[in-house]
Amino acid sequence: MSRTVRVRVRIRAWLLGLMRRDGGMVTSEYAVGIIAAVAFAAALYKVLTSGQVSAQLQAIVQRALDVQM
């Protein structure tokens, strides 16, 4: 086997070893993800329950219920 082929094989084995080590998220990453999701949900809740958005949503529902078939 030539030196170039051996180097390529070793590099490929090293890269595969690096990829295998990353098995998934760790607990801290889950915690950050959950905090971000909760913050987004809270912001969305505040927007949807604000006066103007709430009035618009109620108007849309009212128009949908008033449709004549």
The pLDDT value recorded for residue 35 is: 95
Q: Number of folded domains in the chain?
A: 1
Distance CA 64, CA 58 (A): 10
Distance CA 21, CA 32 (A): 21
- 48 domain residue, yes or no: yes
pLDDT surpassing 70 at residue 47: yes
pLDDT surpassing 60 at residue 7: yes
- 17 domain residue, yes or no: no
Q: In the chain, what percentage of residues exceed pLDDT 70?
A: 86
- 67 domain residue, yes or no: yes
Which residues form the domain of 40?
25-69
- 8 domain residue, yes or no: no
- 6 domain residue, yes or no: no
